[in-house]
Structure 1
Amino acid sequence: MIPPSVLRARNAMVTRQAILDCARVRLREEGYDAASLREIAACAGVDAALVSRYFGSKEELLLEVLQTGGPPMELFSGPREGFGERVADLLVCAPPDDSKLDCLIIILRSLSSQAAAEAIRNSSRSNFYAPLVEWLGGPEAKIKATMIAAIMKGVTLTRFMDEGFGFSEAEMALFRDRLAETLQRVVDG
């Protein structure tokens, strides 16, 4: 028989994860300012006070959502010469609802919020820039990481503003290839 304390701990973990999952969806769909703690709590089937108990504040919940999105380590694994291809595939070919795009979309939809700005900066530094700078190495690593991030954000913003790129299949393939080449040049440059 499982002790009651273990059952409570498991339920707490399940509840915490449900809150994070609901927050990720609401933040992705609405951005920071429009997503309310009450809506997130309702989605998770809990009282809004429980969200605050687990995460403290809405800013801390955002930070946790961004941090649990994890560093994009799969982009930094594999051969260096395939980096441009991996990122281009993610940004251009992944379905619009692919969870791998969540952090980028949440960031783009929440950037205008002064309350969210610090959490976004902190998350970006620790979950993206720092691992990318380390992976790139060398004296220009910070400059390269910033260029890569700017390209990724720009492509993501364009994709979601235009509900896709409005390209034919051939144009989409060419765009993806050119994006891959551009990103690879930054890495190799």
Structure 2
Amino acid sequence: MEREEMVELPAPSRTRNAAATRQAILDAAHHRFAKEGYDGASLREIAADAKVDAALVSRYFGSKEELFVEVLNCAPDASDLFEGTLSDFGVRVAAKILDDRDVDQGVEYLLIMLRSASSLAAAEPLRRSMRTHFHDPFAAWLGGPDADVRARLAGDLIMGVCMSQAITADHDLDEEGRANLRQRLAAVLQAAVEP
């Protein structure tokens, strides 16, 4: 009887698909920047996470800064905060922040921003992204006097509560306490956006 020889087959590789490769790189970069910030993430690690050659990252995105900008451009759309009337903004947004479990992806982008904030290379792209994707549209929606200041204040409150919620989902409060928090947060947010 002849003995069968075991042949080790190569691991399956990613099929050639430019859109899928680009998305895999973006996903890997998103996770690396959220975990390690701009300075801590390397293009080699991002490429390894995406299971591509490091040269492909440069081919698709150019530099690390350009990849970072593209990751920031993929942040969840916050325009739903600016739908509805100004008079119900506080109630609507407090409920979204405290009750909507789909805010987790937005928290990852907050982590990217926080972990990259001390980087000199990331500072300008972060500022530009915040203005373009959040503060400017928010201020335009608010309109009226001091719209920029009101948008900044409300945005800062929203980010702070979202970060707190990421740490402690229920804010260490019972149901009655969470209802009280929602009501008070609604009042504070409403006061922040009123002219």
Considering the TM-score relative to the shorter chain, is it more than 0.5? yes
Task: Determine which of 148, 152, 157 is the counterpart of 2:154.
Answer: 148
The answer for unaligned runs of 5 or more in structure 1 is 1-6
What's the offset of the Cα at 1:125?
A: 0.9
The verdict on how the C-alpha distance between 1:96 and 1:110 changes in structure 2, with shifts beyond 3 A counting, is farther
CA distance in 2, matches of 1:70, 1:97: 9
Matched residue, 2:43: 37
The verdict on how the C-alpha distance between 1:61 and 1:86 changes in structure 2, with shifts beyond 3 A counting, is farther
The verdict on how the C-alpha distance between 1:175 and 1:25 changes in structure 2, with shifts beyond 3 A counting, is same
Matched residue, 2:82: 76
The number of equivalent residue pairs is: 180
Task: Determine which of 106, 109, 112 is the counterpart of 1:106.
Answer: 112
Asked if the contact 2:44/2:54 (under 8 Å) is kept, the reply is: yes
Map Cα deviations across residues 47-74 of structure 1 (whole Å, 9 max, x no partner): 1221122111222211111111154111
CA distance in 2, matches of 1:155, 1:167: 14
CA distance in 1, matches of 2:94, 2:41: 30
Asked if the contact 2:90/2:187 (under 8 Å) is kept, the reply is: yes
Matched residue, 1:119: 125
Matched residue, 2:73: 67
| Aligned amino acid, residue 102 of structure 1 | E
The answer for unaligned runs of 5 or more in structure 2 is 1-14
Asked if the contact 1:69/1:102 (under 8 Å) is kept, the reply is: no
Runs of 4 or more, structure 1, over 6 Å off, are: none
Matched residue, 1:12: 18
Alignment TM-score, normalising by the size of structure 1: 0.82
Task: Determine which of 158, 169, 180 is the counterpart of 2:186.
Answer: 180
Map Cα deviations across residues 122-175 of structure 1 (whole Å, 9 max, x no partner): 101111111111111112111101111221232234344x44433333322322
What's the offset of the Cα at 1:116?
A: 1.2
CA distance in 1, matches of 2:102, 2:34: 11
Map Cα deviations across residues 71-104 of structure 1 (whole Å, 9 max, x no partner): 4111112333332234323433344872133322
CA distance in 2, matches of 1:105, 1:173: 27
Alignment TM-score, normalising by the size of structure 2: 0.80
The percentage of counterpart residues that share the same residue type is 48
| Aligned amino acid, residue 86 of structure 2 | R
Matched residue, 1:136: 142
Asked if the contact 2:36/2:115 (under 8 Å) is kept, the reply is: yes
